[in-house]
Structure 1
Amino acid sequence: MAKRGETRERLLKTAATLFQSQGYHATGLNQVVAEGRAPKGSLYFHFPGGKEQLAAESLVLSANDVRRRLSGARDLDAALEVFATRLVASGFRDGCPIATVALDAAGDSEPIRVACADAYGSWRDVVVDFLLRQGVSTERAPGLATTVLAAVEGALLLAKTQRDVAPLRQVAADLRVLIEGAK
């Protein structure tokens, strides 16, 4: 029998994967339970707030994973490669682990909106730190970090729909020029 924490963690990871590829509304709790190999009653035991709580917590899990990977990237190309690798490995199904849910449910759910905003905020902080290390001023870095995130999100969407990582490569090249000019 699985330990209580193991079942909870498995449900969170399963939900994160499903929400990323299918969105919030297309992902059913029965599917999460079945694919997470968990007893039916365990979902509400671990997540008494239901699907909304499960989604918000799975977004935190996904955001932390991406933040960790971005923090470990040595440069802009390596950071974008984090997204490109995941996109290709999924057959172009999985773009940003936050965007699909943000577009699908953040307008209807305050906990989900907050989880999405916190995720993007944490990634922005990583980009600000990177920009500061690159010599961008403390005044300029926060705004430029927002531009970087917006460009990467757009490139991910284009790459997903075109089934080609070329938009990510193009954005990386243009962002390098932009960052160099901001020093």
Structure 2
Amino acid sequence: MSNKPNAREAIVDTASRLFFTQGYHATGLSQIIKDSDSPKGSLYYYFPHGKEELALTCIHKTSEIVVRQLKQYVEKDVAVEQAVQDFILQMVRDAEESDYKGMVPFSFWVAVETSCISEELRKACQAVFKDWQDVILQRLLEEGTDAELAADKASVVVSLFEGALLQTLTCRSTGPLLAAARMIPGLLG
């Protein structure tokens, strides 16, 4: 069994990529082990409860990454609508630079596919969207927006950028993300 410090990380990175590109059901543990170059024992050492536990780890990791990126924009000394536009425009650059590969909307595999598998995965997905919304909500509250309206706006913004990313990848065009960015001032202003 490999206890290299990066074995767990390699397994999580590989599983995230495979879950995102193939889906939860189409990704087997054997493929994760093979593609991560990890011994079978490492996977079960780090994830004794198997695929669902690994998926939960991937869900949490993805959420942390997006929250960190979103906070980098929202914590800048600009209005929230500018911060969210800049965040979406970064998605545009990422889509172009990756030739529309390797970017999968969180809702595509996680919320749609895995939330039907178990209540634990559904709750994890729910928490992810709440965490993302909370970043925007907090900033709206700081700018004086009413709490209920701020919560609604944060929910719509997350739905907007997730949906626009899905359309961007499907159409292989940055148009939907660019349209979403243009709509942000109307939604948040």
Specify if TM > 0.5.
Answer: yes
Query: Structure 1, residues 117-149: CA drift from partner, whole Å, max 9, x if none?
Result: 111111010111232344423331011111111
RMSD of aligned alpha carbons: 1.9
Question: Is the alpha carbon distance of 1:85 and 1:110 closer, same or farther for their aligned partners in structure 2, counting shifts above 3 Å?
Answer: farther
Identity %: 34
The aligned counterpart of 2:80 is: none
1:48 aligned to 2:57? no
Among residues 89, 93, 100, which one is paired with 1:92 in the alignment?
Answer: 100
Aligned AA (2:120): P
The CA distance in 2 between the partners of 1:63 and 1:95, in whole Å, is 13
Aligned AA (1:25): H
Offset at 1:154?
1.3
Offset at 1:85?
3.5
The CA distance in 1 between the partners of 2:104 and 2:33, in whole Å, is 23
Could you state the TM-score of these two structures normalised by the residue count of structure 1?
Answer: 0.88
Q: Aligned with 2:6: secondary structure? A: helix
Q: Aligned with 2:38: secondary structure? A: coil
Among residues 61, 75, 80, which one is paired with 2:88 in the alignment?
Answer: 80
The CA distance in 2 between the partners of 1:9 and 1:35, in whole Å, is 13
| Structure 2 residues without counterparts, runs of 5 or longer | 77-82
Aligned AA (2:117): D
The CA distance in 2 between the partners of 1:59 and 1:89, in whole Å, is 24
1:110 aligned to 2:84? no
The CA distance in 1 between the partners of 2:106 and 2:33, in whole Å, is 20
